[in-house]
Amino acid sequence: MLEICHISKSFDGNAALRDVSITATTGKVLAICGENGAGKTTLMKILSGAIEPDEGQILFDGVNVAVGDPQHAMNLGIHTVYQELSLLPHLSVAENILLGRLPHRSPRWVVDWKSTAKRAAETIREFGFEEIDVSSLVSTFSVSVQQIIEIAKALVVNPRILILDEPSAVLSAHESQILFRKIRQLSASGTIVLYISHRLDEIFEISDEVLVLKDGVSVLFAETPKLDRDGVIKAMVGRSLDAIYPARKPSVGDLALEVRHLSHEPAFSDVSFEVRAGEIVGMFGLVGSGRTEIARAIFGAEPANDGEILVSSRQVSIVSPGHAVAHGIAFLTEDRKRDGLALDCTVVDNGALASMDMYLRHGLLDRRLQRKVVVEKLDELNVRPRGARGPVRQLSGGNQQKVVLGKWMLVKNTRIFIFDEPTRGVDIATKVEIYRMLAELASSGQAILLISSEMPELLGICDRLLIMRKGRVAARLERSEFNMETIFAYAAGIRTEGVAA
């Protein structure tokens, strides 16, 4: 039995957890959900010994867990799969899986590589992914396989408590099912599983109990069968979500962006489409369909080697992101932590990064003006002001996303926004806000290209859809033609279209 008693924790004076108490019983799957910044990850880190709580204690069969020592937690049988991949790409799969407990030979400090490979392969096989070669370097695998390896690290020894932080975010449906099978198997044999997720479908599929955190406080703790989706959402965001997608009255203007026969073999070829001012055009496709590459080509990050790009009906040459920005194109990348933000710099500095010219006075940077402009913009975007002077790192994922958006909105003359998976990894309340921002951008006359893997959001917010398949435009659909089955059929190549308009 795991007893979490009156746990509190704050960072830099901001309370991340406030007096949280729950008990989890052996053999149960406990789902923990909440918005970004609700304290889920903090709770998990305390459990795994990565950080220490300010107050309270966690007892596992009477032993205090929360002492801030990962080794201690591991000795108690508590294993954690972190959301941020903690794999070492330059080492083999086997070494990663057994990191921290490499088998050794007679002198205790000598590694036994043979049993390392053997035990790692066994772990992977028992998990259900025997096709992963444990002697390869981790860097040779895709993100989803890396996530599987990450989970496998916690499965070497049957864990007594298994903590999973958003494990399925990058897994395919099939891979998720294998993971769920494993979770059921573990909990049947007496493991306590703590499953952190925003995906409500998963929570209802896998969990026995649900804990909802909001602003660091436990607001709901109940058995899953007694709950319904609305109840959980209400607890998470504090209000009912009748309308996730904003109502829109599209008023389509002039051509803003047009690409003709754009090609960059082998990623994509002969791609043509246009986006008008005030329009949201969605781009759907399976992984590897070339969506991100097209966006990068338009933005000049990796220029296409054939075809034309027209901005406001004038042909332009874009061979670097600088050109794209000059032509009024903004690109919000999928991986905001890598490409979008300087995490250790302040919120203001990040927000002002693309629009420095605006804050110059007599050739010098006017910090006060900069701060004023950025803070105003972020207020508009509803970024909870946790301190604009603090590093962006401290913001929740959704707020970080908004800082990136604000950064581009401050650039003068930006007319075209390209979003690549803007809602990946953010909670439902933040999603709603992002949709609202998209709608507002469009109604203020901006042209928006929205790349997404989430069908419901594309159906919910787009005016038109481009469906990509193997680097080509497989279909173009108007809003009246939107239909999940049709879209999937085109994306998977089951249905094909002639040369489209």
- Summarize as ranges the residues that interact with other proteins (CB under 8 A): 48, 50, 70-71, 74, 80, 82, 86-92, 94-95, 99-102, 104, 108-111, 113, 117, 129, 131-133, 135-137, 140-142, 144-145, 153, 172, 174-175, 286-287
Q: Closest approach of Cβ 265 to other proteins, in Å?
A: 18
Tell me: cis bond preceding 303? Omega within 30 of 0 counts: no
The span from the CA of 311 to the CA of 327, in Å, is 7
Q: Closest approach of Cβ 179 to other proteins, in Å?
A: 12
| Of 190, 182, 241, 232, the residue nearest 430 (C-alpha) | 241
Q: Closest approach of Cβ 357 to other proteins, in Å?
A: 29
Q: Closest approach of Cβ 174 to other proteins, in Å?
A: 5
Indicate the residue among 132 and 451 with the shorter CB distance to other proteins.
132
Indicate the residue among 174 and 226 with the shorter CB distance to other proteins.
174
Q: Closest approach of Cβ 91 to other proteins, in Å?
A: 6
The span from the CA of 47 to the CA of 411, in Å, is 43
Indicate the residue among 94 and 353 with the shorter CB distance to other proteins.
94
The whole-angstrom distance between residue 69's C-alpha and the CA centroid of its chain comes to: 28
Q: Closest approach of Cβ 171 to other proteins, in Å?
A: 9
Indicate the residue among 287 and 500 with the shorter CB distance to other proteins.
287
Indicate the residue among 291 and 371 with the shorter CB distance to other proteins.
291
Cα dihedral sign, 336-341-347-352: negative
The span from the CA of 146 to the CA of 91, in Å, is 12
Residue 92 pairs in a beta bridge with 137
Q: Closest approach of Cβ 208 to other proteins, in Å?
A: 27
Angle at 220 between CA 217 and CA 226, to 5 degrees: 170
Indicate the residue among 138 and 404 with the shorter CB distance to other proteins.
138
The span from the CA of 371 to the CA of 335, in Å, is 26
Contact 97, 156 (CB under 8 A): yes
Indicate the residue among 176 and 400 with the shorter CB distance to other proteins.
176
The span from the CA of 431 to the CA of 268, in Å, is 29
